[in-house]
A and B are shown apart, each in its own frame.
Chain A
Amino acid sequence: MPKVCYTQPDGTERVVEAEVGDSVMQAAVRNGVPGILGQCGGSLSCATCHVFLDERHADDFPPVGEDEDDMLDVAATDRADNSRLSCQLVLAAGQEVHVTIPETQL
């Protein structure tokens, strides 16, 4: 089972077991991890599932797409080089991913 470790802005961590094929956003929403809203349900139209992806996983996911890029530009917390929309980070078997949640999504 893939695992996701979510670090809150205050440093607290929570590890969640996810299903293969879930996105990092879905795993958070389903397990009530605060700070990831995912209001558009993954249709790239709300920018409320913004996360900072740990550098060590940079190559484990497809690169930022055009629509994702547009939405990251307008997220509530300013984007960084490792910013991703977590609805685009789809988990594979056995994968372990670390992400940090930004100060605010709204």
Chain B
Amino acid sequence: MTTTPGTEYPFAPMPPAEAVEHLGRIIADRPMTKMTMPYGGDVWLVHRNAAAREILSDRRFVREPFRTGERVVPFFVPFPDFLRGTLQFEDPPQHTKLRKLVQKAISPKRVREMRDSAVAFANELIDGMIDRGGVRDLVPEYSLSLPIEMLSNLLGVPSSDREKFERWSSSTLAVAGKSDAEVAADMAELAAYMTDLIAERREEPRDDLLSALAHARDRDETLTDAEILPIAFILIVGGFDNTATFLSTGVLALLSNDEQRAQFAADPDGLAATTAEEVLRHGGFATGRPAGGGGGLVPFVATEDVVVDGQLIAKGDAVSIDLTAAGHDPTAVTEPARFDIARPDNPHLTLSHGLHHCLGAPLARMELQVGLAELVKRIPGLRLAGEPVFSRDVLTQPMTSLPVTW
């Protein structure tokens, strides 16, 4: 395929404003681009917001061939085997069954009920940072602690084991710094840990998700340990790292944009909801770090020929969503390059859409809202005290350190 100059995809990191323009040109040029991944071959990366939503709502795009191993997942690295056994790779009806078991525990209503405890815990963390004073590292002391505490409470695992969770979670996405044997050992340890805990909850149920899952088989007779384990896995892999990254990114974005930060500080409770959405859409760009394009969601496979936005996706083709482009599509988002924490409509797809949309979305949103608002309320004079550090050992290149003072 020949590409119009200035619409190349993938593209290397460039200043964020330029990247938004580059994405805009791609979107004007075509709905999607076929890209060859380091593993698993070709995949369509869908850039346009409306086309992406259409695909995510269309059941003719499935993940079964990846789950069964018939197809290799087109990806940057060999996709970790144990993840192919999770909810993320199921299609209906099994997906529906598994998802129903969990989603009530993370429903909008349940999450509203958890909000007060999130506020209290955020304030405890802030008290700690204020007591210790000097230069604090926001990532371990705040951004990671809040979602780990919430997830631990929800699942019913002791938050004192947080350091293990961090290791297990980063191990699943490790690209360097760990040997295959180390990763395998970490995964085996996680499985053993969860199996023990499930057995404990079978004996003595508590008011937590793991107990509910452990006892679901009594009502339904179909939920086995082999089914519970992947649910717990995916919640641990998907349930706090992302949230921590976006919370840190949100703080850095606000600290890098004085006007937006002042606006937020003037009404943190009123603006928390729209701020969280804007951080999800554009937070990374708003930090000023160079932004590139290439890659997206775990793909789907077309079960028949489907034409989307004029482009034929042939039966058997893999399709992924370019979340970054979808969040900067000028036909869906006005002034996509602007960091605007009061944006009334924000149709980003960072939490995806459709059947596999983020199961933890209500929780993720609440944690971002509370995490940003409480910090600004308690420490209005927060400022950077050094350069943020990003890990290159992990595929998603998460922020591992954000030195701040006040």
B99 within 8 A of A: yes
Give residues 19-64 of A contacting B (CB, 8 Å): 32, 34, 39-43, 45-48
A84 CB, nearest partner CB in chain B, Å? 16
Residues of A within 8 A of B100 (CB): 45, 67, 70
B146 within 8 A of A: no
**Contacts A74-B108, A76-B112, A106-B273; is A40 near B362 (CB within 8 Å)?**
no
Q: Mark A73-100, 1 if CB is under 8 A from B, else 0.
A: 1111000000000000000000000000
- Counting residue pairs across A and B whose Cβ atoms lie within 8 Å, the total is 58
Which one of A40, A41, A75 lies within 8 Å of B109 (CB-CB)? A75
B127 within 8 A of A: no
Residue pair A106, B354 in contact (C-beta under 8 Å): no
B36 within 8 A of A: no
How many residues of chain A have a CB within 8 Å of chain B?
20
Residue pair B365, A106 in contact (C-beta under 8 Å): yes
**Contacts A74-B104, A106-B108, A106-B273; is A45 near B345 (CB within 8 Å)?**
no
Residue pair A41, B107 in contact (C-beta under 8 Å): no
Residue with the greatest number of chain A CB neighbours at <10 A, chosen from B100, B103, B110: B103
Which one of A41, A48, A73 lies within 8 Å of B355 (CB-CB)? A41
A76 CA to B362 CA in the complex, in Å?
10
Q: Which residue of B lies closest to A47 (CB)?
A: B108
**Contacts A45-B99, A76-B112, A106-B362; is A40 near B357 (CB within 8 Å)?**
yes
Would you call the interface of chain A mostly helix, strand, loop, or mixed? Answer: loop
B57 within 8 A of A: yes
Residue pair B354, A43 in contact (C-beta under 8 Å): yes
Residue pair B344, A39 in contact (C-beta under 8 Å): no
Q: Which residue of A lies closest to B354 (CB)?
A: A41
Residue pair A39, B109 in contact (C-beta under 8 Å): no
A105 within 8 A of B: yes
Q: Which residue of B lies closest to A40 (CB)?
A: B357
Give residues 356-406 of B contacting A (CB, 8 Å): 357, 359, 361-362, 365-366
B215 within 8 A of A: no
B56 within 8 A of A: yes
Residue pair A46, B355 in contact (C-beta under 8 Å): no
A67 CA to B96 CA in the complex, in Å?
11
Give residues 332-369 of B contacting A (CB, 8 Å): 344-345, 351, 353-355, 357, 359, 361-362, 365-366
- 9 tightest A-B contacts by CB? A74-B107, A76-B108, A41-B57, A41-B354, A74-B109, A43-B355, A39-B357, A40-B357, A74-B104
For the complex with contacts A41-B354, A47-B107, 16 further pairs of A-B residues with Cβ separation under 8 Å are: A39-B361, A40-B353, A40-B354, A40-B357, A41-B357, A45-B100, A46-B103, A46-B357, A46-B361, A48-B108, A71-B107, A73-B109, A74-B108, A74-B109, A76-B362, A106-B366
> Could you list 8 examples of A-B contacts with CB < 8 Å?
A32-B345, A34-B344, A39-B357, A41-B354, A73-B109, A74-B104, A76-B362, A106-B362
Task: Mark A residues whose CB is within 8 Å of B.
Answer: 32, 34, 39-43, 45-48, 67, 70-71, 73-76, 105-106
